[in-house]
């Protein structure tokens, strides 16, 4: 027989159908009023998901970060919080900076999808009761981690902006895993010329190896032009 612990209107925003259905069943059995938000496709998928979630007028939103065609769930947190919903992020993302980003946008707590179902259910109950879900010092630590990563990304993008067009092209080839010899053949120049350009890239990016330069560019979200370089 279902247990009635106090009706809470809950919206589930999750693109993994089996996981979403499992949450819906479990929460319904707990006595909650549950709405599972469909994850649509198309150009305005994120806006459609947000509108559908707001229409449900939830007290608590269980939100995944990777919403497939609707993109990242992070962009939904602030408008949901402004509408009065308590956002509980449930994700397989394990980077602390990513968790800190969710908290900085107003999420109540971030839970790993590997947590037992009872943990998620207990979190819903505690959220409904207005309890503190993340110790203040832990919240500050995670948000600081996010802000540090954000500052690092901005600094890296600034350095990448100092590269000449040819140096950017060379870096893009390095990111595609191409060796100096192949890059030289592509541009019809000597290997020595490419090595000089690589040294300039490393100097401007303030790193000491090609691997570090490629890693920094990837972490900053700087991507090559797929049409031109995915040969």
* Sheet containing 9-13: order of strands: 33-37, 9-13, 60-63, 86-91, 109-112
In the chain, domain spans: 9-145, 161-229
Closest to 33 measured CA to CA, from 11, 3, 2, 55: 11
- Residue 225 reports pLDDT greater than 70: no
Average the pLDDT over 67-95 and give the result: 93
Please write down the HEC assignment for all residues of 160-214. HCCCCHHHHHHHHHHHCCCCHHHHHHHHCCCHHHHHHHHHHHHHHHCCCCHHHHH
Helix-helix angle 210-219:191-205, to 10 degrees: 50
- Residue 11 reports pLDDT greater than 90: yes
pLDDT for res 151: 95
- pLDDT tens-digit series, residues 160-210: 999 999 999 999 999 999 999 999 999 999 999 999 999 999 999 999 999
Question: Do you know the residue count of the chain?
Answer: 231
- φ, ψ of residue 87 to 5 degrees: the values are -100, 125
pLDDT for res 227: 41
Q: Which residues contact 17 (CB under 8 A, 6 or more apart)?
A: none
Q: What is the CATH number of domain 9-145?
A: 3.40.50.2300
What angle (nearest 5°) sits at the alpha carbon of residue 117, between those of residues 63 and 51?
20
Same fold, 9-145 and 161-229: no
Fold designation for 161-229: Arc Repressor Mutant, subunit A (1.10.10)
Cα separation, 201 vs 197, whole angstroms:
6
């Amino acid at each position: 027989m279902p247990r009635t612990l106090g009706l809470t209107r809950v919206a589930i925003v999750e693109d993994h159908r089996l996981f979403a259905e499992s949450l819906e069943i479990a929460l319904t059995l707990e006595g909650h009023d549950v709405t599972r938000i469909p994850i649509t496709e198309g150009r305005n998928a994120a806006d459609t998901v947000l509108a559908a979630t707001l229409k449900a007028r939830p007290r608590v939103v269980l939100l995944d970060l990777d919403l497939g065609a609707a993109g990242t769930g992070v962009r939904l947190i602030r408008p949901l919080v402004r509408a009065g919903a308590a956002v509980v992020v449930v994700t397989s993302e394990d980077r602390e900076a990513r968790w800190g980003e969710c908290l900085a946008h107003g999420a109540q707590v971030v839970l790993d999808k590997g947590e037992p179902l009872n943990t998620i259910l207990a979190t819903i109950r505690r959220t409904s009761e207005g309890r503190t879900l993340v110790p203040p010092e832990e919240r500050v630590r995670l948000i600081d981690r996010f802000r540090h990563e954000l500052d690092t990304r901005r600094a890296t993008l600034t350095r990448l902006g100092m590269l000449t067009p040819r140096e950017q092209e060379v870096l893009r080839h390095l990111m595609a895993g191409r060796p100096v010899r192949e890059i030289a053949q592509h541009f019809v120049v000597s290997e020595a010329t490419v090595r000089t350009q690589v040294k300039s890239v490393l100097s401007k990016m303030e790193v000491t190896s090609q691997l570090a330069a490629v890693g920094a560019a990837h972490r900053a979200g700087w991507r090559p032009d797929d049409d031109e370089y995915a040969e």
